[in-house]
Amino acid sequence: MKNLLTCEWRKLAFANYIVPPEILEKYLPAHTQLDYFNGNCIVSLVGFQFKNISVAGIKVPFYSDFEEINLRFYVKRFDGAKWRKGIVFISEIANKKALGLLANTLAREHYQILPTTQEIRETEDRLDVNYSWKFRKKEQFLRVISSKLITPYEQHSESDFILDRLYGYGQIDEEVSNEYSISHNRWQTYEVREYSIDVDFMRQFGPEFSILTSMTPHSVMLAEGSKVQVNGIQKIHS
């Protein structure tokens, strides 16, 4: 498929929550199924650095380094030969109007354009990664502190389930979905030591996600990331 977007995703912080699957039913694109890890349905709050964007091979001025925050969940689709493991974005937050227009128009994603900031601090023995944004005048954030030791994750682990996603899906209508492919090297992760989260999930993402506000994440991860290529979008009818 034709290359749509080339960029880097770096310092990806994940807060992963186990949720009842029924709250995701209205977000499930046609011809996909919820994907489960050890019988659990997972939603992730994710913050990361977006770097060095090229669209169809053309560099995008003023889009060299910014942050995105999103809420996502995990699906799979059988293509007739094998299962394709993918992600669905409930909502994405960035301070870049052009990116939001591109994603909302082409991929049927759900970008919100809000003031966002990032702070990545390194010392001799730790990383301090903080993604914050402002919604209705309230500051919200996802912060992760980790060691600087970077390690590969094991196959069939929870990190493998969450990070090894080669497809993205967006709902067009009850019978048709968009599918695009995501390619990158296998990521490595840092050992998380501490984290803090302050998000009004209900107001930001919808009343069905209010349960996350008082919920402790099942797990928190920090991945280094890599160069990423997003390939052209196709419509899935069956």
Going from N- to C-terminal start, the domains of the chain cover 3-236
Distance of CA 76 to the CA centre of its chain: 16
Q: Is the pTM of this model over 0.85?
A: yes
pLDDT, greater one: 211 or 171: 211
Query: Which fold would CATH assign to domain 3-236?
Result: Acetoacetate decarboxylase-like (2.40.400)
Tokens representing residue 140 in the block: 């919200």
Is residue 89 predicted with pLDDT exceeding 60?
yes
pLDDT band at 103 (very low <50, low <70, confident <90, very high): low
Using a pLDDT cut of 90, give the percent of the chain over it.
Answer: 76
Q: What is the pLDDT of residue 99?
A: 61
Task: Name the helix (H) or strand (E) containing 236.
Answer: strand 234-236
Secondary structure letter of residue 105 according to DSSP: H
pLDDT band at 97 (very low <50, low <70, confident <90, very high): low
Q: What is the pLDDT of residue 112?
A: 87
pLDDT band at 237 (very low <50, low <70, confident <90, very high): confident
- Residue 163, phi then psi, degrees to nearest 5: -90, -25
Q: What is the pLDDT of residue 5?
A: 83
pLDDT band at 73 (very low <50, low <70, confident <90, very high): very high
